[in-house]
Amino acid sequence: MKTRFTDEWIEEVRSASDLVGVIGETVPLKKAGANYKGCCPFHHEKTPSFMVSPEKGIYKCFGCGESGDAIAFVMKTQNMNFIEALEYLASRANIAIPEQSDEDDPDQKEKKRLYELNREAAIYFYRNLKNEREAYAYFQKRSLTIETIQKFGLGFSSDEWQVLKEAMLKKGFTEEEMMKAGLLSKSEKTGRTYDRFRGRMMFPIQDIRGRMIGFGGRVLEKGEPKYLNSPETIIFNKRFNLYALHLAKKDARREGLILVEGYMDVIALHQVGITTAVASLGTALTKEQAHLIKRYTDQIYICYDSDSAGQKATDRAIQVLLDAKMEPRIIILGNAKDPDEWIQRDGVESFQQAITTATYYVDYQLARIQSKYTVKDDEQRVLCIREITQYLKGLKDRTTREIYAEHLARDFQVPKGLFLERAAEVPREKPREKPRDPAIHKEPLVIKSNNRSLIQEFLIMLHEKPALFEELKVDPMVVAFAGSGLDSYVAELFPLLSEGKLRDKEAISEFFVDRFDKEREMLYNSRTEFSGEVSQKVLMDYIKKIHLQYYRGLKKDREGLLQSIPLRDEEMRKMIILEIQEIMRKMNELGTM
């Protein structure tokens, strides 16, 4: 299939995009000679090092190395792909977007009509809500504001059989189009068509680009089914879409995404400012939805209902996300039935705290297993150990298995090998020490592979032995700690440690009295999952892992940027290629140290 965007059109969009204006919508900029300056949106900094050159049409951060043009900036900050960023900038600059030809996509004209039809239907349902007191009272009872109802386009379908059909016919749409959009159903007996959604609260469903692709309907009073979604159409496939992702994607990169069960849970969270909530569309989480999530973030939280069905759905979602190479955390609802009830009862601050303390998926599933048994009873204890052993056996990561087996062995007071299905070690004469292979690099065992956990582990150990900081062969980069919630703290802590001004935990507490209390309390009240002696080598291993993860993310961003630059722009492509080579060199250095 040929692209509908020529190099000339792409260059027109790039040239017409006011780089200062585009970036200025996200970053406050100040004039600095011929350029503009501001604080980088890609890492935390107090002193501006982010430069924008209108003349060259590029931006560059001298703190973290981020650079690119208007297209790259929109891709990174708005979590858009290349085509989405182009269309966004073209619309912003009032440049006509080339239509895909019928030769390339024979369904394109029909798809466009169905998008328009769904949009008109959504407007109809929204306006209809104002005339239905009971329906409007339902949303008010759920504490939704007028602004929230408008934002999500919530509406109501009356209990009549053909009112939507008649309204859309007047708009110029045909019965055939309404059937293809899933707005009408047909009677097998009479062959007559009638409105599919009747007497229901209506939730418009939009795709990642904000186009109206379908609807979800909840019955207002008694009736079956309680929930009814649009059927599969040429523009609506439940497996490939998530409710409200078009709204949540903006903050997904920085805050992650929260996966909830229902539309109302999503809406309730967005209304109180937690704008990263999404939901699958009436089905269990699919692998396609997991890969869609991964486009925007690796940080995913599951917050399904607390009943048995919700727990089963959580177990399924965990496996789907693991298969997509993501390691989810679970928000435990406690006595609340769902997120909406939690917020209504305990408030948004309580829920935000639950996000911060969300449970790593392994801890969640081990706790589920142990809750089924009374471990003081020997028979129950044996059954519990057997089930835990089978669970650990299914974990793909050896490091995770080893560390959890070690902790469980202490808790159950049994040999570690029991959880790994290894024979217990028999004490015997100490064998001769084999010569070490210098090519083998042994790292400390770390439970979690996500960067936030590595950072917390490193800082917990560093607080125990801050004097070791001066002995590190690699100075920790503050930018590598971005996104952890601790970057402001380490930006002040590390320079003091490198100068030898803070030699113990007490000195750190005394220096930061009344500042960063929350950060230090979290670290002081946590225990490191590393079970050995904290040494200079251990801290170095952690720093290398933290830096490697930072460089991997940076390399991935640069490779995406390279794909967005036309082949004829040799100077820009060469600059990005050199940057990628430099990143790879630094990664290789870390791997051979």
Can you give the C-alpha Rg of the chain in angstroms?
28
Q: How many residues does the chain have?
A: 593
Do 492 and 584 fall into the same domain? Answer: yes
Q: Which one of 28, 62, 92 terminates a domain?
A: 92
Q: Is residue 99 part of a domain?
A: no
- Domain CATH for 212: 3.90.980.10
Token couple for 506:
């007490």
Cα–Cα–Cα angle for 329, 331, 335, nearest 5°? Answer: 155
Q: Which two tokens stand for residue 236?
A: 């609506």
CA distance 581 to 586: 9
Cβ proximity of 538 and 444 under 8 Å: yes
Contact 459, 543 (CB under 8 A): no
pLDDT of residue 492: 80
Is 258 found in the same domain as 346?
Answer: yes
The DSSP bridge pattern shows strands 329-330 and 300-303 to be parallel
Q: Which residue type occupies 45?
A: E
329 and 212, same domain (yes or no): no
Give the pLDDT confidence of 78-117 residue by residue, as tens digits: 767 788 888 889 888 888 888 765 455 566 789 889 999 9
Return the CATH number at 313: 3.40.1360.10
Retrieve residue 33's tokens.
């000679």
Residue 366 lies in a domain: no
Q: Rounded to whole angstroms, what are the CA distances from 215 to 102, 141, 203? A: 27, 22, 6
Residues 232 and 255 occupy one common structural domain:
no
Residue 156: give the domain boundaries. 109-236
Cβ neighbours around 243 below 10 Å, total: 26
The answer on 402 and 331 residing in a single domain is no
Residue 194 and residue 62 share a domain: no
H or E segment and range at residue 576: helix 570-592
> Degrees (nearest 5) of the Cα angle 182, 279, 221?
60
**CB–CB of 560/80 below 8 Å?**
no
What's the pLDDT score for residue 496?
Answer: 79
In a domain, 414, yes or no: yes
Helix axes 361-370, 308-323, angle to 10 degrees: 140
Q: What is the pLDDT of residue 329?
A: 94
How far is residue 8's CA from residue 11's CA, in Å, rounded to a whole number?
5
Cis peptide before 444 (omega within 30 of 0): no
Predicted TM-score (pTM) of this structure: 0.62
Give a yes or no: residue 426 inside a domain. no
Same domain (yes/no): 546, 476: yes
**Do 380 and 336 sit in the same domain of this protein?**
no
Q: Specify if 415 maps to a domain.
A: yes
Indicate the pairing of strand 300-303 with strand 227-229: unpaired
Identify whether 538 is part of a domain: yes
Indicate if 492 and 571 belong to the same structural domain. Answer: yes
Q: Which residues of the chain have pLDDT under 70?
A: 1-4, 79, 100-107, 422-452, 524-532, 563-573, 591-593
Residues 212 and 156 occupy one common structural domain = yes
Beta carbons of 379 and 391 less than 8 angstroms apart: no
Residue 436 lies in a domain: no
Is residue 312 in a domain? Answer: yes
Q: What is the pLDDT of residue 448?
A: 39
3-state DSSP assignment of residue 244: coil
pLDDT of the residue at 424: 43
| pLDDT value, residue 14 | 85
Q: Which residues of 22-40 are buried (b: 16+ CB within 10 A; e: fewer)?
A: bbeeebebeeeeebbbbbb
- The CATH number that applies at residue 85 is 3.90.580.10
Answer yes or no: do 118 and 211 share one domain.
Answer: yes
**351 and 395, same structural domain?**
no
Last residue of a domain, one of 36, 63, 92: 92
What is the count of structural domains for the chain? 5
Q: How far is CA 425 from the centre of its chain?
A: 43
Distance (Å) of CA 154 to CA 123, 150, 331, 496: 9, 7, 27, 54
